[in-house]
Structure 1
Amino acid sequence: MTSNDIVLGVLFMFQTAFGALGNSFLLGLYSITFFTGPRLRLIDFLLSHLAFANDLVLLSKGVPQTMAAFGFNNFLDDVGCKLVFYLHRVARGLSLCTTCLLSSFQAITLSSRSSRWANLKARDPKSIVSFSFLCWTFHLVAYYLTLLNVNGPNRTKNITERNFIYCSLKTDVPFNATLYIFTICLPDVLCVAIMIGTSGYMVFVLYRHHQSVMYIHRNNLTHTSSPETKATQTILLLVSMFVSFYSLNAILTLHIYLGKLTFWLVHISAFLAACFPACSPFVLIVNDSEVLKYSLTLWEKIKLLVT
């Protein structure tokens, strides 16, 4: 094991540990608050769902990648590889779908009461739960192909398999391009397009609102942003991060599958895939005032129980 391997292993270990810690904190906070604290916002349901999906992404990708970087390449058998790759693909799809729902939900929240989206506001709770259930069902079914193509580490020079360090992928399996496009590529592209469209709409609404109240800003030096504006800015930041990391990872993944496979590209692709799940909880903790309010409420309840 070289010094580069040790650096990679430590990097993946810290990324996974801190990301999992942040997501687990948010998930635990929202869960405890739901049962003992103030009433959660509807958006908090999506944020807790995102935290759970991000935890799955980090654990299913970060832990095996860390062990592989430290030189443990044969710690999974065929069943383990299938399960790890399947969980990662499903969790990654859920993270994408949930971020798309977050962006869409906030765009609807910002829309005018007199707009054609007004009817959707009344059905938000039922719609959000239904779409979340649909996301789970779709991704659990769509990624069954992963179970067929992934095997344990390739210990031979079999040219029909591509070695991804701790697992291998069959390349001689009959490939159905139409099925792949409609079950994998098209939904991902559609979600990214929706996020970009809703983000553009939110930026436009915020800019228009800023222009309409500019005279208030000039006369009120203590003006602060509304909670709705802060929530929108936080979601815009999350969407920007997701689209950036997702696009870079997609380009590298395409190159890995179509071009020459190198272990450095595999490591970089895995690191980029885990960047959003690792960073997003801290963006929410720092920027979402409701997280601080829930934390303070929980802390007060703990102090009352102790005393």
Structure 2
Amino acid sequence: MISKDIALGLCFLFQTGLGALGNSFLLWLYTITFFIGPRLRPIDLLLTHLAFVNDLVLLSKGVPHTMSTLGLTNFLDDVGCKLIFYFHKVARDLSLCTTCLLSSLQAITLSPRNSWCAKLKSRAPKCIVPLFLLCWVFHLLKNIMILTFVKGPVRDKNITEGQDFIYCAVPFSASLNIAMHILIIFLPDLLCIGIMVGTSGYTVFLLYRHRQRVQYIHGNSLTSSVSPETRATQTVLLLVILFVSFYCLNSILMLCLLIGQSSWLVHTSAFLAACFPACSSFVLIVSDSHVYKNFWILWEKMI
């Protein structure tokens, strides 16, 4: 009979391996397409960046948790814990930022010509790379305090302050913990979540209005086929829904961890934190027709 720890380790291993495989496939596909394939859409740059940072999230969270649940202890020293937590938080924030940019770009693309977003249509693709650099610099600086607070494995069982993340620890007081999360971590995240919800609602409204207009023009002759633009928009909306759902659930568990320590909460929070990076690539592979198109174009060129 498989023990609970081995079952947890296998779950993390499956989630990390499958998610890294999907993201690496998209990263390879978009990179090769950039050099030898058809011209990439502006949204493809965002999807490439999303696949890259999601790979970082999975490797920095899934690998340590897999090793710890399979019985490997003290495999990270103090420096290793600092770097693992730092790059995981930076990558997770960048995944949030990229998903926010995806939702915003899609809303701008669908906006009518007479709207206030129309002026941004021609400028938005040119701003993608500068926004990437801005997001990287901001999140690298925002999370630098992690290098100060995160410590190596806690061997002193009498230590009660802080959080024990199985393979590393964050031994600081509760008051400082709450203040840091609210002022530095949660507020920028909530801003991005708010932008995603707002732009997604605006996109749904535009799609509904377009649907009503098309039905009025074509009447009963309206076919059930979906345009590539509508399908791409639905894919972005699905990604936003998945991200917001998993983020909210994980945030609730993180707040619970501030109140009381539990290994079950730690493992569940880690699993939820990796759910979106693990499944987002397969949502794109299944839903985005451009993935199939680019893959077959590259396949024909290679053979």
Give the TM interval when normalised to the shorter protein: over 0.9
Aligned to 1:63: 63
Instruction: Give 5+ residue unaligned stretches, structure 2.
Output: none
Aligned to 2:99: 99
Aligned to 1:243: 244
Aligned to 2:235: 234
The correspondence of residues 1-307 of structure 1 with structure 2, limited to 5 A, is 3-157=3-157, 158-172=159-173, 175=176, 180-215=181-216, 216=218, 218-221=220-223, 223-257=224-258, 259-303=259-303
TM-score (ref. length: structure 1): 0.94
- Distance in 1 of aligned mates of 2:137 and 2:145: 15
Shift, 1:178, TM fit: 6.2
Shift, 1:128, TM fit: 1.6
- Amino acid across the alignment from 1:139: H
- Distance in 2 of aligned mates of 1:11 and 1:173: 31
Instruction: Give 5+ residue unaligned stretches, structure 1.
Output: none
TM-score (ref. length: structure 2): 0.95
- Distance in 1 of aligned mates of 2:111 and 2:9: 46
Across the aligned residues of Structure 1 and Structure 2, the Cα RMSD in angstroms comes to: 1.7
Distance 1:177 1:63, change over 3 A: closer
**167-176 or 262-271: bigger deviation:** 167-176
Shift, 1:161, TM fit: 4.1
**164-173 or 104-113: bigger deviation:** 164-173
Name the SS for the 1:175 alignment partner: helix
8 Å Cα contact 1:154-1:161 kept in structure 2? no
- Distance in 1 of aligned mates of 2:186 and 2:147: 18
CA offsets per residue over residues 107-140 of structure 1, 9 Å max, x none? Answer: 0000011211111111112222221111101100
- Distance in 2 of aligned mates of 1:220 and 1:254: 49
- Amino acid across the alignment from 2:282: F
CA offsets per residue over residues 252-303 of structure 1, 9 Å max, x none? Answer: 001102x211111100000000000000000000000000001001100111
- Distance in 1 of aligned mates of 2:219 and 2:226: 10
Shift, 1:73, TM fit: 2.3
- Distance in 1 of aligned mates of 2:249 and 2:227: 33
8 Å Cα contact 1:149-1:173 kept in structure 2? no
- Distance in 2 of aligned mates of 1:84 and 1:299: 37
Identity %, equivalent residues: 62
8 Å Cα contact 2:81-2:152 kept in structure 1? yes
8 Å Cα contact 1:12-1:65 kept in structure 2? yes
- Distance in 1 of aligned mates of 2:160 and 2:283: 44
Name the SS for the 2:115 alignment partner: coil
- Distance in 2 of aligned mates of 1:176 and 1:250: 14
Distance 1:185 1:112, change over 3 A: same
Task: Tell me which stretches of 4 or more aligned residues in structure 1 moved more than 3 Å.
Answer: 176-182
